Structure 1
């Protein structure tokens, strides 16, 4: 099968966003994290106001060198992202999350852990992928994504061509894409739609990765009797 390709698009179409951006009222400490920490951690050139012509950004400017760059798509409360940053201080990891309460939680965990190899985009991962050059990402994570369980909403899932083809473009050949979910139908769709976008399944198991950190979403799934599953894919 011929791998689909999609060149950098300087004028991506306007797109819908379906998830929540705000939840319950933030605590004062969380408001402090957002006002004091987010500005220094946010990658530049992602928003339309900073980059109106959507020119490709230089990934080395995010962390100040040419270290490997990892991407977490929808980091939730940030447990996994901070764990990875602490475990692998030689890499840089960018997290994308439009839910501002999750961003505030992550910033608190970054402070507590004292990690510095992180960057935080408080928005849609597609906005970042629009401006990353080809092959910029060495590893990507999709950990317990929103399942959108109703059939009419399955097109909103991340594992659709709208998201996967841009992800394949920004990942280097041989790069690793990890997916964790407790929703059988989400895993079914992942197996069907991710490989045609330019990936090969190399592991499909109920055993987590050796460096795995169980998130609060996984703990909730286990309490409610759902079985977590872990997919590992390689960029062709």
Structure 2
């Protein structure tokens, strides 16, 4: 998002966060209702233009939200009204921001239940499974298949194994990708979960499983480097041969043997 949209996005989410946190068991319902609005915006250019028109008073846009979506949970309606009353650099940013609010409501629900770390762990395991089974990833990401077919595959693969929050988050990105690729979308959800727990995510690739002591040591080193607690997500890949690869956001530290061999090969060729 560009400056104006990002400022509107962040301001409304700051106000919505305590509402989502206080919602308790209603968090999933609020999220579902926010997603209803997103879907309506995605399918109606005239609605997007009406709710992002900078020449239209915010009070009028909030009134339109109430008129169209008044049957939804009032907390969802209030959040959408606040978004609609804000200013946007691009009309598509409104729907994206409401989508983020829906995800926030789901994470707040899980946080209230004390299951947020479990949800984060499940999302990571699903991400690793999909990356390791390309056929499953392709099928679950297939835009030619219907939404129902993709959701059925999600159910067949994971069934009742997932926490309700994990299931709701995955069902949303599988059913309504909104231009997002599945694995990057899950990575973004992982980052949001870690952020809510006050942590930074470090994705670690190692030739062998790290011991508890190694995880603790690595987490301590990264926490010192980034000034906050770090969630270590480890993926085992025998092809790296040895060493570890650590990625935090866009920063990558690659100390694997395969990386060093590739670097040596490039120098020889050069």
| TM-score > 0.5, shorter chain as reference | no
- Identify the structure with the greater strand proportion: 1
* Structure of greater relative contact order (alpha carbons < 8 Å, 6+ residues apart): 1
Larger fraction in helix: 2
